[in-house]
Structure 1
């Protein structure tokens, strides 16, 4: 092989290496035990490790995060803000994935705990747990946040007097078609359904305005099957999952199964459930339990119904949010009380997980996202 050909091949190899996408991870935290705010890591897929590259100072518990569909901006709720709440916007550096603060806005309610962005990138939705309300904020062309253009105040109580004393909106999840947003209220035991107007950044009740679950169950987080036909709800207070079918024309939900057990057999301690995700293939559903400190694993049938596959100990205490990587190879679990993220390898055929032995220190880890740069 002549020197010119060798040089060309080396050049091609170096170019391919230089252009290989970086996988950047963002971690939201509570402002306790020395947390600096939002943490940025680069994931090394071959080694299965997370390398820290930045931390962004935010002392108001930037707990839950969302990435703009363009990949250029990141948003964090400020759960520790005053009674008017708060949500912050950051730019994402295209080359490094590092964050730069842009601005913040009120969310018109205390204890904002969840943020999502519609697929057009024009509107953000923030759930105020303490205030029991939903705030709708326009997103400017430069990714910064405008003041809220709409809000919805929920009211009600539930049978669990300790937790369901007043409305507690916990999440707002956009439908795959971007026409509806589904808002879980832990207190009213309802998933509220709203039509979304992305041009005006406003919402209104859908023709079927809500779906109810068993009283006292405590709706928390919500997710859709990749086919858009089915949806799944965390019932926090009863440590169960609800299964719905969905009408794509009206957005209406029909309850198929409710109060499906997620705790390991024989577990009798205190537990509250937290997060829920489906793998990219749509074959398996995962569900986090705080107290049992496990991920419940279910297979998903062609009819959307669930069959329990197993329970994976998460190697930490109080697993809140977790992430299935976009390729479906790894699962990352954030622990609020042991200040760590644990990494698991995932078997795509069985859905089962194997702990890799990798654990990353992050104070009060609450939310984990991944983006490819």
Structure 2
């Protein structure tokens, strides 16, 4: 794991426990340590971040609005300084909904997708020539409810674009739906005729990941602590449910459990999903013929409430943001087993929620 270029980590946080907002860290791969280069706290609770495909801009979803009475959040665009990774504000706009909890970009870097948990809606934004963001181009309000006590109304949680950018998949925890929207790259909008895929009642789809090579996708389900497995039609992007696997370890007991994040290994051989309560990662091997999952075991995340985690783009490391214990814990990923191993190294970050990674040559 020799250092081949400068590595920058951007950490999103809740503005609690003296957190200073977005943390910009220079990461040393050889010592598995990090130095704080900058903190940015333009608004409260920059919990989720998204890196532009060019590596020149970073987008942040702040839960605080434009003014004190504003019920919506704020989307901020930052220019990344070449050579250092430091951030400078380009512009910000209203997120157009309450409590933005996820932000992502299409593969071309022309469209920003934002999910609002409390508002139960989604919005899209056009990326401007400056790298800034337009006002909201699309706004879609979801409707409905489901059977769980936490499902009295829609709770949008993530928008994940297809690998070719033609579609984006919206996970709505509150109404147990995965919704496929057509994406208009030029306009920065989503279409008016979405395709709805109903999920098992009470499961609560939260985050979604698409296999980099195989025609399969995986949905982590927060309320049932399960992973849903789907075949993806390469022609129209439609989803076909295949199976569902458990996330919890039968050897552990916790009164509270809530599945959180999901990612594949770089080569698509392994799938990881985090659980808050048991505070572990469930490790699965991906069948390269069927897309189905075989549980390999569980590993403790080295902290409490693993809200999100990052699989290193080089495939060597896995970093877990443990929100309640204020740390980012570093694991190595052995090539032969794919089961992350603790390094004993961690980075202290108050209320750490999300990790983004940038390599600077």
What is the TM-score when the length of structure 2 is the normalising length? 0.95
Q: Which runs of 5+ in 1 are unaligned?
A: 1-16
Alpha-carbon distance between aligned partners in 1 of 2:253 and 2:41, rounded to the nearest angstrom: 40
CA shift, 1:58, in A, is 3.2
Q: Is the 1:206–1:250 Cα contact (8 Å) retained in structure 2? A: no
Aligned pair count reads: 353
- Tell me the equivalent position of 2:18: 34
Seen in structure 2, the aligned counterparts of structure 1 residues 145 and 243 have a Cα distance that, compared at 3 Å, is: same
- Tell me the equivalent position of 1:107: 95
Q: As a proportion of its length, which structure holds more helix?
A: 1
Q: Which runs of 5+ in 2 are unaligned?
A: none
Determine whether 1:262 maps to 2:247.
yes
Determine whether 1:45 maps to 2:29.
yes
CA shift, 1:348, in A, is 1.6
**Corresponding residue SS for 2:253:** coil
Alpha-carbon distance between aligned partners in 2 of 1:167 and 1:105, rounded to the nearest angstrom: 23
CA shift, 1:201, in A, is 1.2
- Tell me the equivalent position of 1:6: none
Moved more, 49-58 or 249-258: 49-58
Alpha-carbon distance between aligned partners in 2 of 1:53 and 1:312, rounded to the nearest angstrom: 31
- Tell me the equivalent position of 1:14: none
- Cα displacement string for residues 281-324 of structure 1 (whole angstroms, at most 9, x for unaligned residues): 10000000001000110000021000001101011000011001
Q: Which runs of 4+ in 1 moved over 6 A?
A: none
Question: Based on CA coordinates, which of the two structures has the bigger radius of gyration?
Answer: 1
CA shift, 1:331, in A, is 0.6
- Tell me the equivalent position of 1:360: 347
Determine whether 1:252 maps to 2:238.
yes
Provide the alpha-carbon RMSD of the alignment: 1.4
Moved more, 46-55 or 21-30: 46-55
Alpha-carbon distance between aligned partners in 2 of 1:168 and 1:126, rounded to the nearest angstrom: 12
Alpha-carbon distance between aligned partners in 2 of 1:193 and 1:264, rounded to the nearest angstrom: 32
Q: Is the 2:63–2:72 Cα contact (8 Å) retained in structure 1? A: no
Q: Is the 1:210–1:252 Cα contact (8 Å) retained in structure 2? A: no
From 302, 312, 316, the equivalent of 1:325 is 312
Alpha-carbon distance between aligned partners in 2 of 1:254 and 1:340, rounded to the nearest angstrom: 38
- Tell me the equivalent position of 1:157: 145
Q: Is the 1:239–1:272 Cα contact (8 Å) retained in structure 2? A: yes
